[in-house]
Structure 1
Amino acid sequence: MFGIIIHEKEKLEIQYLLKREMDEILYDLEDERIDHIVKRAMKERYKILFSLFTRVAPHNECMNYIIDTKKKEKM
């Protein structure tokens, strides 16, 4: 286990970067041209990013990025 000390500005920057990356993945998951194997890897990456996001973001922000698994399974 690692610990990190960051300033509030740095925390907000980390939140911004994670949100931007997760938004890109969510957008790409809707693209039908992308192969299902690639989408599976993207979903795994999303899980990791979301896990990091939950550590630095408030609960109400995290709720916006929870994936409806039944909807995304169809993709």
Structure 2
Amino acid sequence: MRGLLISEKETKELEYILKRELEELLLDLTDDRIDRVVKQLMVEKYEIVLNLYKRVALPCDQKEYVIQLNHVMKKNNQM
């Protein structure tokens, strides 16, 4: 386990970076050209980034990304 002491400004920057990464992963997960195995690895990465995001974001913001992942996963399973 590691500890990290960062300022409010650094927290906001970290939150922004993690949100961008989550959005990019969600976009790639909807791309039909990407192989299913690669998408599974992307989902694993998404979950890791989401766990980091949960440490700096408000609970209401966190729910949005959990819901979006569930929606994308449901859509991918229908194909």
- C-alpha offsets along residues 15-57 of structure 1, whole Å, 9 cap, x if unaligned? 0000000000001101100001110110000000000000111
State the AA in 2 paired with 1:5: L
The match for 1:68 is 70
Instruction: Spell out the pairing of 1:16-27 with structure 2 (5 A cutoff).
Output: 16-27=16-27
State the AA in 2 paired with 1:42: M
The match for 2:54 is 54
C-alpha displacement of 1:72? 4.9
TM-score (norm 1): 0.92
C-alpha displacement of 1:68? 1.4
Runs of 5+ in structure 1 lacking a partner? none
The number of residues matched between the two structures is 75
The alignment's C-alpha RMSD in Å is 1.5
Higher helix residue share: 2
- Distance in 2 (CA, whole Å) between partners of 1:21 and 1:72 is 20
- Distance in 2 (CA, whole Å) between partners of 1:73 and 1:32 is 9
- Distance in 1 (CA, whole Å) between partners of 2:36 and 2:46 is 15
Runs of 5+ in structure 2 lacking a partner? none
- Distance in 1 (CA, whole Å) between partners of 2:18 and 2:42 is 14
After TM superposition, the runs of 4+ consecutive aligned structure 1 residues lying more than 4 A away are none
